Amino acid sequence: MRKINLADVTTAVRDMFVDACENIPENVLEVLKKAAQEEESPLGKEVINKIVENDLLAREKHLPICQDTGVAVVMLTIGSQVTWEGDLQEAINEGVRQAYVGGYLRKSVVRHPLDRVNTKDNTPAIVHVKVVEGDVFRIDVAPKGGGSENMSVVKMLIPADGVEGIKKLVLDTVFNAGGKPCPPIIVGLGIGGNFEKSAMMAKEALFREIDDVSADPLARKLEEELLEEINKIGIGPMGFGGTKTCLAVKVNTYPCHIASLPVAINIQCHAARHKHCEL
């Protein structure tokens, strides 16, 4: 068995959230630069260039890429041969607390969805755990902004809806979202499982690297087709019109019931903020 020190978890969570909020991933930056070159609308091109300029200034001046520094989402991948002493959830929350208070990041979490009182430190984090074989302890984090999250949906389609039904749902969702999720966006799609599994897969899809493709040929084909079709809608960068509404589509799938076709769409803004490390 390998023992993890929870103080190291707190430090890693703190450092990754500050890093994610200030430093755009290099591969996302390259995709944005490429999108600016390919954007056919002069205004859309200018908007993406301003986004890139903003991202570089944030990196240089150690400031948040966006004022919405999001809800703290943490994905843990824990090996069955790993152990620790103490409260893992609290160790993560302490890392979030230190990042958002000490890093001067906006605190966006309220203690209850109805009384709306701010917790003032962006806790509690939303934590998901996956147990695997071995002694790995991996932490993935994402400060998930509210504007893009608000445009996300889960829909229980039926098998007869098929691929065309999935495409229609995605295209309608993106069209109705317009400029609210701060396009050009990344679309995470979870297909299959059941209600909650599809939503989880859609969230996990947003943790994939922007330049990867699905190993499943059916999912990969759908990723390619949806990216092309979304960019024909004309919403464009920040909703000002253009040919670059979407930077990438990520599709995750899982077996499902014979009577069901669950589909979840989780939308991410152009910043695609996420980081990971292994302890």
Domain membership of residue 36 (yes or no) is no
Domain match, 170 and 203 both: yes
Domain boundary among 123, 144, 165: 144
**Res 167: pLDDT:** 98
Whether residue 71 sits in one domain with residue 7: yes
**pLDDT 10s per residue in the chain (279 long)?**
899 999 999 999 999 999 999 999 999 999 999 999 999 999 999 999 999 999 999 999 999 999 999 999 999 999 999 999 999 999 999 999 999 999 999 999 999 999 999 999 999 999 999 999 999 999 999 999 999 999 999 999 999 999 999 999 999 999 999 999 999 999 999 999 999 999 999 999 999 999 999 999 999 999 999 999 999 999 999 999 999 999 999 999 999 999 999 999 999 999 999 999 999
Instruction: Using the 3D structure, point to which of 79, 112, 144 is the last residue of a domain.
Output: 144
Give residue 173's pLDDT: 98
Q: Is residue 26 part of a domain?
A: no
163 and 87 within one domain:
no
Residue 208 lies in a domain: yes
Residue 27: inside a domain: no
Number of domains in the chain: 2
Whether residues 132 and 219 share a domain: the answer is no
Q: Say what the pLDDT of residue 172 is.
A: 98
pLDDT in tens, 9-36: 999 999 999 999 999 999 999 999 999 9
Task: For the full predicted model, state whether its pTM sits above 0.85.
Answer: yes
The answer to whether residue 46 is domain-embedded is no
Q: Apex CA 70: angle with CA 89 and CA 64, to 5°?
A: 115
Answer yes or no: do 84 and 166 share one domain: no
Q: What is the pLDDT of residue 23?
A: 96
189 and 85, same domain (yes or no): no
Last residue of a domain, one of 122, 144, 166: 144
* CA 30 vs CA 34, 211, 244: distances in Å: 6, 10, 14
Give the structural domain span for 72. Answer: 2-20+65-144
CATH number at residue 133: 3.30.360
**pLDDT over 90 percentage in the chain:** 100
Q: Judge whether 96 lies within some domain.
A: yes
The pLDDT of residue 3: 96
Residues 185, 253 share a domain: yes
